[in-house]
Amino acid sequence: MRPKRGAPALPGVSALSWLVADARKGEVLAAHDAHRPLPPASTLKTLFAVTALPRLPKDGEHTATEAELDDVGEGSSEVGIVAGDSYTVEDLWNGVFLSSGNDAVHALAEMNGGWDTTVKQMRLKAKLLGAYDTHVVSPDGYDADGQVSSAFDLAVFGRTGLASREFVKYSSTVDAEFPGYGGTFGIVNTNRLLTGEDGVEPYRGLIGVKNGFTSEAGYTLIAAARRGGRTLVVTVMNPQWGGVHEVYEEARDLLDWGFKAAGRVTPVGSLEPPPPPLPPRPPMKDGPVPGPLARVLAPAAAPVQARKPVAAPARPARAAEDEREESGSGFVMPVAFIASACLAALALFFVRRAARRKPESHDA
């Protein structure tokens, strides 16, 4: 943090990694070890959502299969999908955001082209967003060797999701009906800071986003809230003291601090993505390239093989005029020819005139 005069003091936070940012501007107001790679647990579902939501039809349906459900990790949180039953895309996204259902992620990933395809898409999306600390192995956030993210990257995913109406709708939904048991049953969002469940006081202005827990990751949370025209996004990864609700209380303290610190701290970073890569250069067309671009765009010249010098044939000594005629001067030869013809005609004129005058001279 870079405080200005009157800036509030930071709260005590035990999380291994955390971050507070202005969601609209992308300015990071304060952070601690924000690029530390840590297991993200179900907060990684935010990256899954910003990757797959735009790709799947809103009114699509999917019939679950035994194969996709068999791949759900042991001990995973599930919404209760049954093989052979059909679900709408909206049902499945409610299962992802509210129940943190890994079975719902598997069903949506199958609709998205398969598990491996979805992993590749998520990895690419993370890079495009500048989330270089993240390595995706399991899109549902289930603990897997090498799977990590960071407080910075999770804030990037949360901020990206806030730009999508669908994402905000699902992440801020408190409860919904889910198909099953011959009808429907109720499901409730597991984000206690949103619902106020289990004695956690709900946070005023909370938009939601996503919470998570695994044995390796501990408790993780991405929380976004809006107050007074400002939207903040906070990430908290693995608090080291307190109970099972400590992650919510530390997020609450950081959100409170962020709203009080408006305009009183200098940003220490930005969540803005890097500029997009330049488009590929178009192939060169035949013909010269006008202007100075010719030197820049011209392909490298092919190597020229050395050749033995060939002696030029001896040239006969000739007058300079002959050389100019041979060089292609089309003006010298016609003028000389015309001049010669004129002189010849003039000489003939004087000869004939002299011939006519001789008799006259003789008579005189």
> With the C-alpha atoms ordered 152, 164, 123, 280, is the resulting torsion angle positive or negative?
negative
Each residue's pLDDT tens digit, 271-303: 999 888 788 888 766 555 444 433 333 344 334
The token duo for 175 is 């409860």
Q: Which pLDDT value is given to residue 345? A: 54
Rounded to a whole number of angstroms, the distance between the first and last alpha carbons of the chain is: 133
Q: Which pLDDT value is given to residue 287? A: 54
Region 113-136: what's the mean pLDDT? 98
| Cβ 167 vs Cβ 45: under 8 Å | no
Q: Name the pTM for this structure.
A: 0.77
User: Within 13 Å of residue 311, how many CA atoms lie on the same side as its CB?
Assistant: 3
In the three-class reduction of DSSP (H, G, I as helix; E, B as strand; rest coil), residue 204 is classed as coil
Instruction: Using the predicted structure, report yes or no on whether residue 90 has a pLDDT greater than 70.
Output: yes
Each residue's pLDDT tens digit, 164-218: 999 999 999 999 999 999 999 999 999 999 999 999 999 999 999 999 999 999 9
Q: Which pLDDT value is given to residue 334? A: 47
Instruction: Using the predicted structure, report yes or no on whether residue 107 has a pLDDT greater than 50.
Output: yes
Write out the DSSP string of 115-134.
HHHHHHHHHHHHHHTT-TT-
Instruction: Using the predicted structure, report yes or no on whether residue 342 has a pLDDT greater than 70.
Output: no
Does 42 qualify as catalytic in the annotation?
A: yes
Q: Which pLDDT value is given to residue 352? A: 52
Instruction: Using the predicted structure, report yes or no on whether residue 253 has a pLDDT greater than 50.
Output: yes
Nearest to 81 by CA among 63, 97, 98: 63
Burial class (CB within 10 angstroms; exposed 0-12, middle 13-18, buried 19+) of 180: middle
CB atoms within 10 A of CB 320: 7
Q: Which pLDDT value is given to residue 293? A: 37
Please pick, among 17, 99, 100, 150, the residue that the annotation labels catalytic. 100
CA–CA gap between residue 48 and residue 182 (Å, rounded): 30
Measured torsion, CA atoms of residues 309, 315, 317, 320, in degrees rounded to the nearest 10: -80
Bigger pLDDT: 64 vs 349: 64
Average pLDDT over the chain reads: 84
DSSP state of 149: B
Region 321-338: what's the mean pLDDT? 42
CA–CA gap between residue 294 and residue 53 (Å, rounded): 45
Does 45 qualify as catalytic in the annotation?
A: yes
| Cβ 257 vs Cβ 20: under 8 Å | yes
Please pick, among 45, 77, 99, 171, the residue that the annotation labels catalytic. 45
| Cβ 114 vs Cβ 96: under 8 Å | no
Q: Which pLDDT value is given to residue 141? A: 98
Does 100 qualify as catalytic in the annotation?
A: yes
The residue to which tokens 């390595």 are assigned: 135
Each residue's pLDDT tens digit, 37-77: 999 999 999 999 999 999 999 999 999 999 999 999 999 99
Please pick, among 42, 76, 138, 150, the residue that the annotation labels catalytic. 42
